[in-house]
Structure 1
């Protein structure tokens, strides 16, 4: 049989592969063994650190692809280069005896690490090595160094580095032991998991070759390799994290020394455990590491759909989170309230749609806790009411990750209330039952329908839309009166809420005819009769109206919040970002300024950022008066502890110029902090009354509207534009003015300049607010609604 062995082309890789090949040739002379050199990404890209180009698997993927295609039958690697999980269909042979696992220090002139001069420069491409070196000698300067052994030795000389760190195993195999200045013992530097082992990889189905390879294996070697690789999997490390592990026999058992650190090296943790089972050793070491390093995971209950039904405590956790994992049942607006640098991860959890499995979510929570100080798992309703929050909390506890839970408003109560159905009512229902309709499989949950049928309490079934017919049938069979009032509430507590009511025996047909979408609640009981009198939620003035709000920046738009308060379904789309332009301010310059003119909150923020950067504060404005374009801008100014001296009579630039022009004199210096791309209309008017200086202090830069839905934009009931740039960018993204705009869709403009931009883009029918404020825009739409 001809067996082709794949390997990288480096000198070390070839020596390792030739060693394997020689053993096989001697043991199995009846077979032919050939070596094929395969180039990998890790070999090609050598001018960047491993974690920047993909990290784990960089030196093996191309070889594994040829294995899977049976172009080669055996791959020989350094096991430390192997990802924690192999591709489906590939396996390792049991481990052969290990070469020296330690790291080795090669110094150019100095005899030891301790004797290196202050600030000595050491080269390595490994975060694990770098951070452990800095723990031993914080004064060292670490530089990135990659390439094969010969290349690194050459670069050390060419770049006059004081030293480099390499794996002792590689130096031994190359016959370069004499170059080693000092071995770094595990107490000083824990090596990479499985460093010193060869990985012999082949297809799982190739049992004959596996048997041939495993004739050279050694039991202790296999146990130690398993333990170290199990730790790598258990800790969930990736190429960005410094991770190390070394398993050694000890008194008839095994000792596993492990290391793990934060990506930036700010924190490193070690653990040592003993035992005989590799998997248990790995789990124990990982748990001890997490107990030292892990941040806190908070299970935040987001409420039933309305983002304002989250608790105050939950909202604070969201705003402070470094990472948020959320799913489709958590209110969509809540992740947008997090700080800009927060990582947001959608994990799905939607029936019949691709989503992350629960065990994968658990692992991700644990991994992110090792990466961040504050992780939020945002869930819909209450985390412990059929939300599998308990499973996530147990997984975190088992992994040694601190967690907390913030209870929330369950859809079982709030969803009914928003549909005008109190879950209890004196004289009708003195209690309630809340059940899930789904069991662990897709079948109906194991429910005591006989007990429910005899009860007078309200029955609420969650996650049961597909089971409506089965539930009603089982209740009727158990003896419940077919005339009992019942309802199904779809998308409860959201602007998409729809409610279908009927008696119990006709509910299933009514729901089928209504084509209600999930999620939905099923309610059975006399309290449903109160809906007609208590239905407040669907009476909101803009209930169910779909509104598009383009905005600048990622934070929730105040206009969107006001529309939601009126019951509207709002889609926000980011079309720009504010980038501040530092201004060279000084106390001397400010002494000469009589007035500062603000026309936006962005101008205020950018100005005070420059003021602070100059080492100044509001005391520098003691002799300066401030004018603002409107009351909204004035309120924002007060957040800096200042009150405007003048506010335009009407919130637009014409009124501001008229109002300010009455008090200016030719000797006055007026500063106008503005957007770099804004027009000069205010300057053109006021320059005749004073010495007017524009101060470009921020820029409104366009961004691709990633969350933009052209279908929604073309068919919604209202679209709101708060500035000319947003109008131009949205219409540019659409490519045309939708036919429905001006007829079915109301186009609302904040003021004359914005309206002019819309007309220039081809929008003919525009509803313009009487003042430049979100309140005025909402008021204009409400007034139009009353007329229709």
Structure 2
């Protein structure tokens, strides 16, 4: 039999693979063993840290694909470079004899770490090594360095580094042990989990090869490597965070386990060790001890159903504090606008039995992120404990010693009927209600006590049962409930697209089909359904799509929400300040400074301070502001505007300045890179007009907004948002939006941009400020309500 063995092409990888090949040829001369060199992504990308190019998997993916396709039969890797679990369909053989697991120091001139000069420069590509070096010598400068052993040694000489840190195992396998200046003990530097161990990877069903490889295994090395990998998996560690583990057998036959784990930036690092007879138990206890010291808090938070305003005040507060949000499909994406700019956002939603991530993976992800962040929010539609599997997540975290708090949410089983005008209880009609999930894990009708529900005379509510409507109404009737019992199906509960279909147990299935109802849906059976005719439904207002610059919730959206207007935000740009060097002489020559935005004010003041100047150099200069809000921002820096037009736009500001500025006056417009030419066209012929760009409104990738019929209108506060928003769409889609969507504009410049792209329905604010624009939209909401009534 011919066995092909995959290996990376570096000297070390080949040395490792050749040692395996020699041993196999020696033990199994009846077989042929050949080495196949495979170039991996990790070999191709050498100029970036591992965590920026895909983590540990970049060294193995191509080899694993070839094993699975049977182009090669096995791969030889360094176990420390392997993800916590092998790819689907692959396994590792038992561990062969381990090489020295310690990290070592190679110095260019000195012999020991302690001999290095103050501020010496050491190279390493590992955060784990870097942070532990800084613990030993806080004065050291640690720089990133990647490549094979020869490359790193060459870079050390070329860049005049004082030294580099490598693994002893690799140097020993290359016959370069004489280059080692100093070995680090486990107390000084905890190595990577399973460092010095070779990972022999093969297909799961290749039984013959697995038995051959396992026959070469070393029992002690297997125990040590397994426990260290067990620790790695328990911590959820990878290339993004520093993690180390070492299991060392003592002279008396017991073991000492060393573990370390830290945040990505090294701001928190915890070390633990434990001694005992069982390596696996030591790995678990060490991991648990580190989690207790280091873990942040996971907040299992109910987002409410549909309407994003139904999240609780406490839920919204915790979103503001979140360092990481892990969210589901049924949590309204608009809630993510409340998080911080640098908050990590991870989607793990489920839809129609398609799982972006299985529940077990979500559990592990929560634990992993709790080790990286102080505040992790698990945002779940409805309430986390009402068929949301929040209990499973809470128990999993509790078992690991990770703090978890519950923030309840409003469940669709209450909100859906309420928005449809159906009380789940009503005096004299129903003294209680039953809520059940309608399907089991095999997507069959759940084992429900229909007789008990029918006998109770109370409101019966079924969640996740849209595809089972026929079976549900049949079972209720078989259990004794009248076929004339009122029933309702509420689709997309509490959202702007909520639809309600009302009938009886006898007619509801047919009515749902005729009305083309869609899941997710709440099914209600009971006498309180009749009360919707008297109470009436809650009219869910379609949201206004507000374009914004930057990631934070816009002040305009806050004004609109304060008026009871539903809002969805979409980012079209990001403000980046531009560097300008000011001199006192230049500023003192200016007769007027014109400010047309708060970003202009902020950019100007930043550059003023960076130029080692302050507002005293403006004592002869007059200041014009386009509106009261810009004037307010100037006032924050101790500057009072000399001129503010009554109508807040560039045209009226230009006309006012036209009366003030003469031919000898230097008029400086503090502005962004983009902007209208109104001021320039009006003032340039009359005075010395000069533009100073202090910020840039840079474009960002714009999310697809969906269909125009999802929104009551789209709101624009600048011309660039107009161009970017419509420019991000395909031509056919853009034409539909231009034709059908009502566009709300803050002022003449934005209106002009809307006209130029061909928008058919434009409504402009009376004044070019957020308050006026919010008032126009608020009036629009009232007009729509009146027309619907």
- TM-score scaled to structure 2, two decimals? 0.88
After superposition, residues 344-423 of structure 1 pair within 5 angstroms as: 344-423=345-424
Secondary structure of the residue that 2:283 maps to in structure 1? helix
The answer (yes or no) to whether the contact 2:501–2:515 under 8 Å persists in 1 is yes
Which residue does the alignment assign to 1:721?
A: 716
Q: How far, CA to CA, are the matches of 1:364 and 1:643 in structure 2?
A: 52
The answer (yes or no) to whether the contact 2:334–2:569 under 8 Å persists in 1 is no
Which residue does the alignment assign to 1:248?
A: 248
Moved more, 563-572 or 258-267: 563-572
Moved more, 345-354 or 378-387: 345-354
Which residue does the alignment assign to 1:761?
A: 757
Please tell me the root mean square deviation across aligned C-alpha atoms, in Å: 3.7
Moved more, 476-485 or 400-409: 476-485
Q: In the TM superposition, what is the alpha-carbon distance from 1:115 to its structure 2 partner? A: 2.5
Which residue does the alignment assign to 1:82?
A: 82
Q: In the TM superposition, what is the alpha-carbon distance from 1:596 to its structure 2 partner? A: 6.1
Moved more, 555-564 or 228-237: 555-564
Moved more, 62-71 or 301-310: 62-71
Q: How far, CA to CA, are the matches of 1:460 and 1:195 in structure 2?
A: 56
Moved more, 240-249 or 58-67: 58-67
Q: In the TM superposition, what is the alpha-carbon distance from 1:589 to its structure 2 partner? A: 8.1
Which residue does the alignment assign to 1:469?
A: 470
Which residue does the alignment assign to 1:72?
A: 72
Aligned CA distance change for structure 1 residues 230 and 344 (closer, same or farther; 3 Å): same
Q: How far, CA to CA, are the matches of 1:533 and 1:647 in structure 2?
A: 54
Aligned CA distance change for structure 1 residues 754 and 176 (closer, same or farther; 3 Å): closer
Q: In the TM superposition, what is the alpha-carbon distance from 1:715 to its structure 2 partner? A: 8.8
The answer (yes or no) to whether the contact 1:750–1:777 under 8 Å persists in 2 is no
Moved more, 454-463 or 555-564: 555-564
Aligned CA distance change for structure 1 residues 159 and 758 (closer, same or farther; 3 Å): closer
After superposition, residues 201-280 of structure 1 pair within 5 angstroms as: 201-250=201-250, 251-274=252-275, 279-280=280-281
Which residue does the alignment assign to 2:313?
A: 312
The answer (yes or no) to whether the contact 2:125–2:144 under 8 Å persists in 1 is yes
Q: In the TM superposition, what is the alpha-carbon distance from 1:636 to its structure 2 partner? A: 7.0
The answer (yes or no) to whether the contact 1:318–1:337 under 8 Å persists in 2 is yes
The answer (yes or no) to whether the contact 1:628–1:644 under 8 Å persists in 2 is yes
Which residue does the alignment assign to 1:774?
A: 773
Q: In the TM superposition, what is the alpha-carbon distance from 1:582 to its structure 2 partner? A: 4.5
Q: In the TM superposition, what is the alpha-carbon distance from 1:754 to its structure 2 partner? A: 2.8
The answer (yes or no) to whether the contact 1:767–1:780 under 8 Å persists in 2 is no
After superposition, residues 185-200 of structure 1 pair within 5 angstroms as: 185-200=185-200
Aligned CA distance change for structure 1 residues 158 and 687 (closer, same or farther; 3 Å): closer
Q: In the TM superposition, what is the alpha-carbon distance from 1:246 to its structure 2 partner? A: 1.4
Deviations 1:257-290 (A, max 9, x none): 2222222222222222455665544333322222
Moved more, 125-134 or 745-754: 745-754
Q: How far, CA to CA, are the matches of 1:452 and 1:696 in structure 2?
A: 70
After superposition, residues 159-174 of structure 1 pair within 5 angstroms as: 159-174=159-174
The structure 1 residue matched to 2:576, chosen from 574, 579, 582, is 579
After superposition, residues 275-294 of structure 1 pair within 5 angstroms as: 279-294=280-295
Deviations 1:495-529 (A, max 9, x none): 11111112333222222222222222222333333
The answer (yes or no) to whether the contact 1:230–1:278 under 8 Å persists in 2 is no
Q: How far, CA to CA, are the matches of 2:90 and 2:478 in structure 1?
A: 54
Deviations 1:286-338 (A, max 9, x none): 22222222222212221222222222222121112121111111122101221
Which residue does the alignment assign to 2:694?
A: 697
The answer (yes or no) to whether the contact 2:565–2:778 under 8 Å persists in 1 is no
Q: Structure 1 unaligned runs (5+)?
A: none
After superposition, residues 42-81 of structure 1 pair within 5 angstroms as: 42-81=42-81
After superposition, residues 314-713 of structure 1 pair within 5 angstroms as: 314-535=315-536, 537-538=538-539, 543-544=541-542, 548-557=545-554, 572-582=569-579, 598-607=595-604, 609-610=606-607, 629-630=626-627, 648-657=645-654, 672-682=669-679, 684-685=681-682, 694-709=691-706, 712-713=707-708
Q: In the TM superposition, what is the alpha-carbon distance from 1:564 to its structure 2 partner? A: 7.1
Q: How far, CA to CA, are the matches of 1:254 and 1:700 in structure 2?
A: 60
- TM-score scaled to structure 1, two decimals? 0.88
Moved more, 322-331 or 442-451: 442-451
Secondary structure of the residue that 2:115 maps to in structure 1? coil
Q: In the TM superposition, what is the alpha-carbon distance from 1:568 to its structure 2 partner? A: 7.6
The answer (yes or no) to whether the contact 1:714–1:741 under 8 Å persists in 2 is no
Secondary structure of the residue that 2:357 maps to in structure 1? coil
Q: How far, CA to CA, are the matches of 2:536 and 2:613 in structure 1?
A: 55
Moved more, 469-478 or 185-194: 469-478
Secondary structure of the residue that 1:56 maps to in structure 2? helix
The answer (yes or no) to whether the contact 1:649–1:659 under 8 Å persists in 2 is no
Secondary structure of the residue that 2:342 maps to in structure 1? coil
Aligned CA distance change for structure 1 residues 685 and 25 (closer, same or farther; 3 Å): closer
Q: How far, CA to CA, are the matches of 2:493 and 2:113 in structure 1?
A: 66
Aligned CA distance change for structure 1 residues 653 and 145 (closer, same or farther; 3 Å): closer
